[in-house]
Amino acid sequence: MKNLLAGAAIALMGLTQTATADGHANYPERPIMMMVSYGAGGATDFQARIVTMTSGNEDALGMPIAILNKPGAGGRVGWNWLAGQAEADGYTLGAYNVPHFIAQSIKGGVEYSTASFEPIANWGADPAVLVVGKDSEFNTLQNVVDFAKANPGKLTTSGAGLFVGHHIAALQMEKAGDMKMAYIPTKGGGAAAMKAVIAGDVMAGINNLSDAFRAAQAGNVKILAVADLERNAFLPDVPTMMESGLAVDNASVNFRGVMVPKGTPQGIIDKLAATVPTMFENSRVAGKMKAGGSPMHVMNRDEVLAMWAARQETLKELLAGL
């Protein structure tokens, strides 16, 4: 028995050695797992499932990607796990949400930072938008700014928690307009924040473009402005905050994409970085994403690295006073 085990161990070692020797040409040899740090059914989980559905195709990775949900504490549980406990063997990927994880790492109390992960590719960009209830007296961003300036700290604005894109957008609006809002973080994510706006619990809300688009289609809210550099294809009539005179850039845009833990072999990172963006561009994926009202924005590894670095700078400055 002992001999058998030893033999098996040697054989296994041999296998792993060949795997490294050939520069991971055969990667992936078994199904891959992708960790999503939000619950099943959330926007990130939903999109992750769509963009990975073609990974088993021969022109993609040739192996399916299974989604593993590790929700909790606004994503901190999952990213802590990916940074600290996940194996960096290329078979464990993770979904990232920028600016969330970068803002959390700047704020502290977590075991990760941008240095703990290696980005692979970006699939989506969901800008934050400013919404008000359908019967609200506010009709433009200017109305809202005027109110907030006249009544400092009185403009109740809901969003999905602290140190997420919505909060960043609120901070940027306060800074750009030199005004004070009352940001109300909700528990239960964007859906709860949107409910607060529709029910009139708060005067305004900052929410995801994709969710706000649906609520506006249903006639429940008015979308006043988009916190992005240019207008969005889903909402061609809604101006950006900059057009409306508030200097808010795209730092709050919720970028979603794939990353791996630091220490993953370079050969695997290169292979993933080459394959994954084309997998996202698959027409079936794009069709499903469009149908679900989820804006796509495919970026390759180098572009994501630059985007992370830029966010790190902006957020450090923005969160310094908090």
Partner 1 sequence: MEFIYYFGDVFTPINFGLLLLGTIGGLILGATPGLSPTMAVALLIPFTFQLEAAQGLILLGAAYTSTVAGGAVSAILLKIPGAPANIATTLDGHAMALKGEGAKALQLSFLSSAVGGVFGVLLLIFLTPVLAQWALAFGPSHLFWLAILGVTVIGSLDSASVVKGLLSGCIGLWLATIGFDDIMGAQRFIFHPSLSGGINIIAALIGLFAIPQVITMFAKGRKNDGTEAIQVQKHPIKSAFSELFRYKRAMGIGTITGSIIGLIPGVGGQIAGLVAYDQSKKFSPDKDKFGTGHPEGLIAAESANNAMVGPSLVPLLTLSIPGSPTAAVLLGGLLIHGIFPGTDLFDNHPDVAWTFINSMLIGQILMCIFGLYVAGMAARVAQVPQSMMAAIVLGLAVFGSYSVQSSMGDVYVMASLGVMMYFLERFGFSAAPLVLGLILGPIAESNFIQGSMIATATDGLAPYFLTGALNLFLIVVVVLSVLYSGYMELRTRRYTSKEEIMG
Which residue's CB is nearer to partner 1, number 194 or number 307? 194
Total residues in contact with partner 1, by rule CB under 8 A: 60
Which residue's CB is nearer to partner 1, number 23 or number 42? 42
Dihedral of CA 227/231/236/240: which sign?
A: positive
Question: Of 88, 89, 214, 286, which lies in the binding site for partner 1, with binding defined by CB under 8 A?
Answer: 214
Contact 154, 121 (CB under 8 A): no
Site string for partner 1, 276-295 (x = CB under 8 A): ------------x-xxxxx-
Q: Decide the pairing of beta strands 204-208 and 117-126.
A: unpaired
Which residue's CB is nearer to partner 1, number 5 or number 321? 321
State the nearest-atom distance from the C-beta of 70 to partner 1, in Å: 6
Which residue's CB is nearer to partner 1, number 156 or number 314? 156
State the nearest-atom distance from the C-beta of 76 to partner 1, in Å: 6
Please, which of residues 41-100 interact with partner 1 by CB under 8 A?
Answer: 41-42, 45-46, 49-50, 53, 68-74, 76-77, 80, 84-85
Contact 255, 121 (CB under 8 A): no
Question: Of 2, 187, 233, 236, which lies in the binding site for partner 1, with binding defined by CB under 8 A?
Answer: 187
SS (H, E, C) 141-183: HHHHHHHHHHCCCCCEEEECCCCCHHHHHHHHHHHHHCCCCEE
State the nearest-atom distance from the C-beta of 161 to partner 1, in Å: 7
State the nearest-atom distance from the C-beta of 193 to partner 1, in Å: 10
Site membership for partner 1, residue 192 (CB under 8 A): yes
Please, which of residues 222-261 interact with partner 1 by CB under 8 A?
Answer: none
Site membership for partner 1, residue 322 (CB under 8 A): no
Contact 299, 122 (CB under 8 A): yes
Which of 160, 163, 156, 174 has the alpha carbon at shortest distance from 241?
Answer: 174
Site membership for partner 1, residue 149 (CB under 8 A): no
Which residue's CB is nearer to partner 1, number 112 or number 301? 112
Question: Of 219, 236, 283, 321, which lies in the binding site for partner 1, with binding defined by CB under 8 A?
Answer: 219
For residues 77 and 75, give the distance between their C-alpha atoms in angstroms, rounded to a whole number.
6
For residues 200 and 185, give the distance between their C-alpha atoms in angstroms, rounded to a whole number.
15
Q: Decide the pairing of beta strands 128-133 and 92-98.
A: unpaired
Report DSSP letters for 252-316, one per residue: T-EEEEEEEETT--HHHHHHHHHHHHHHHT-HHHHHHHHHTT--EEEE-HHHHHHHHHHHHHHHH
Single-letter amino acid code for the residue at 288 = K
Q: How far is C-alpha 76 from the chain's CA centre?
A: 13
Please, which of residues 154-183 interact with partner 1 by CB under 8 A?
Answer: 154-156, 161-163, 182
Question: Of 9, 10, 218, 306, which lies in the binding site for partner 1, with binding defined by CB under 8 A?
Answer: 218
For residues 60 and 289, give the distance between their C-alpha atoms in angstroms, rounded to a whole number.
18
Candidate segments 114-122, 195-203, 224-232, 300-308, binder of partner 1 by CB under 8 A: 195-203
Question: Of 95, 194, 296, 304, which lies in the binding site for partner 1, with binding defined by CB under 8 A?
Answer: 194
Residues 6+ apart with CB under 8 A from 111: 80, 83, 84
Which residue's CB is nearer to partner 1, number 202 or number 268? 202
Binding interface with partner 1 (CB under 8 A): 39-42, 45-46, 49-50, 53, 68-74, 76-77, 80, 84-85, 104, 107, 109, 153-156, 161-163, 182, 184-188, 191-192, 194-196, 198-202, 211, 214-215, 217-220, 288, 290-294
